[in-house]
Amino acid sequence: MMDIRRRSLLATPAIITSLGASEAEAQSAQPLRIAMSIGDVPRLWGGPEAGFEGVRFGSYFVYDSLTLWDLSRDDAPSGLRPGLATSWRVDEGNQRRWIIELRQGVKFHDGSPFDADAAIWNLESIFNSNAPQFEGTRSGLVRGRATSVGSYEKLDTHRIAITTREVDATFPFQMAFLWFASPSHWQAMGGDWQRFAMNPSGTGPYKVVSITPRQRADLEANRDYWDERRIPKAPRTALLPIPDGAARVAALRAGQIDVVESLPTDTIASLRAARFQIVQNSYPHIWAWRLNVTEGSPFADLRVRQAANLAINREEMVALLSGAALPARGKVTPEDPWFGNPGFRLRHDLAEARRLMTAAGYSATRRCAISVIMPVSGGGQMVPQPMNEAMQAGLREAFFDVSFLPVDFATAINQMRAGARDPASRGAHAINVAIPSMEPNTGWLIYDSQLSNPRGINWGYYNSPAVDGQLRVVRNSFEPAEQARQMARLHNILIEEAALLAVVHDLNPRALSPRCRGFVQARSWFQDYTQISVG
């Protein structure tokens, strides 16, 4: 098996009351209550919405994937580990064909078995539009993260084969985004995925007790979970969508939640002084603008893209964030094996930014007007309004006039998937959705010219022969050290071409109640909440 490696509004009493758990309830049952930064409970149907926060809470709580992330430590990047697959290997006679051994003895929450038949049924629900279990929206939410799947077959009761569209050594990472729902329970729900999402059945460490849209999802520990080490220590867990950061913090101070996701950085010092736990860690994240490079967009010009990157003062942005970020020198940090040695250095150089803009035909009197889709909250988005206002001010000095199109996070994700040419994107020249960089697919394939809508999420229709060619090299590199070298070369190209407007790396601060014990913040977009006990 290959060893592949957040301007706040004041919280109102109405917001706090809507959390629904009384103080007496909290003290008697000791539930774990997590305040998410998204605006609704993601549909729990094995095809999560709302970006990676939706994946974090809408998939890995209730479902398992073939490969899982090792979230057990905080001192190293999270790598892959076996999940519903115990092993995977490339067919010696066909490098596009992966032989996957399925974990035996696993049951869905409704008691039905997970086996090869269930696995193929789930793959059909995503990749076969003629299958009765296919649902287009759900399919699109998964397919964009598993772009290599070509075909699949059952080999025997506990083995399947998946054949990729082309040779792809990175496919085990895509296996971490294939989640498995119970076929039997789907039938019991009348073959209706919307009903299923309100009463789901997966194989994950949490079972769903009830869902109240836009208010909460109540879960209980799956005492029969196949990985005994990850049976949740808290018998009950509540997921609470609270998109406003000040409201999340107010709820924590009021004792009505236990964990704050996407902690507003200007609250860290006061929360520490009040003896709340503050945890943060580096993780594979870049807060950035994804750029529209279609014909007619200013960002189709390399000089404009480079100028935008030089106009931003990243150190001032880190100060704005109370130090809870790192200034970006690329998509990844300089110590990352994938950093390489880009020929274009990300820095604050206003004189050079103005020179490039002048060469591109802009000036103090001939301004470059751009509009940016700005989610007002969401996982990985940090504190988007003040950060984007700082971007606006910095870019103004380099002849840019920036306007914003504020949306909720789920809308931004839908716009991102639709692409810059779609009317849903309203002619925007950039979209501010943070980019993961933890593996060779997510956050990298968004620059593959063949993976725009509907096959992938190349929102800005980036089209670079050099990038496309290097992605092919990466996909053909099965040896981990060689794959890392080729990823570094890919990173060089992307930064030299200024494929994105890279700003800061989040340190992902969270706040926990003093009642919580056992949480380890992994260097990942995903976290293991099963180890938190409450008392």
**Cα(197)–Cα(195) distance, integer angstroms:** 5
**Cα(412)–Cα(434) distance, integer angstroms:** 11
Strands of 339-496 (E only): list them: 368-375, 400-407, 430-431, 435-436
Residue 136 pLDDT = 94
User: Contact, 50 vs 379, CB < 8 A?
Assistant: yes
Residue 24 pLDDT = 40
Positive/negative CA dihedral, 19, 24, 26, 28: negative
Give the distance from CA 284 to its chain's centroid: 10
Provide long-range contacts, Cβ within 8 A and 24+ apart, for 321-325.
321/265, 321/382, 321/383, 321/387, 321/504, 322/265, 322/266, 322/268, 322/269, 323/265, 324/6, 324/265, 324/268, 324/280, 324/506, 324/507, 324/509, 325/287, 325/382, 325/504, 325/505, 325/506, 325/507
**Strand pairing category for 400-407 and 368-375:** parallel
Angle at 422 between CA 419 and CA 423, to 5 degrees: 140
Q: What is the CATH number that goes with domain 13-18+29-261+511-534?
A: 3.40.190.10
User: Do 13-18+29-261+511-534 and 285-506 show the same overall fold?
Assistant: no
Residue ranges of the chain with pLDDT lower than 50?
1-28
Residue 50 pLDDT = 79
Exposed/middle/buried for residue 111 (C-beta within 10 Å: 0-12, 13-18, 19+): exposed
| Token pair for 30 | 């000791």
Q: What SS3 state is found at 67?
A: strand
User: Contact, 168 vs 135, CB < 8 A?
Assistant: no
Exposed/middle/buried for residue 525 (C-beta within 10 Å: 0-12, 13-18, 19+): buried
User: Contact, 144 vs 457, CB < 8 A?
Assistant: yes
At 231-250, the pLDDT tens digits run: 999 999 999 999 999 999 99
| Token pair for 231 | 């049976």
Nearest to 30 by CA among 517, 511, 522, 510: 517
User: Contact, 399 vs 310, CB < 8 A?
Assistant: no
Positive/negative CA dihedral, 445, 447, 450, 453: positive
Which residues are 371's β-sheet partners?
403
Return the domain boundaries, the chain: 13-18+29-261+511-534, 285-506
Residue 29 pLDDT = 59
At 393-437, the pLDDT tens digits run: 999 999 999 999 999 988 998 999 999 999 999 999 999 999 999
Residue 222 pLDDT = 98
Q: What is the CATH number that goes with domain 285-506?
A: 3.10.105.10
Nearest to 381 by CA among 419, 448, 325: 325
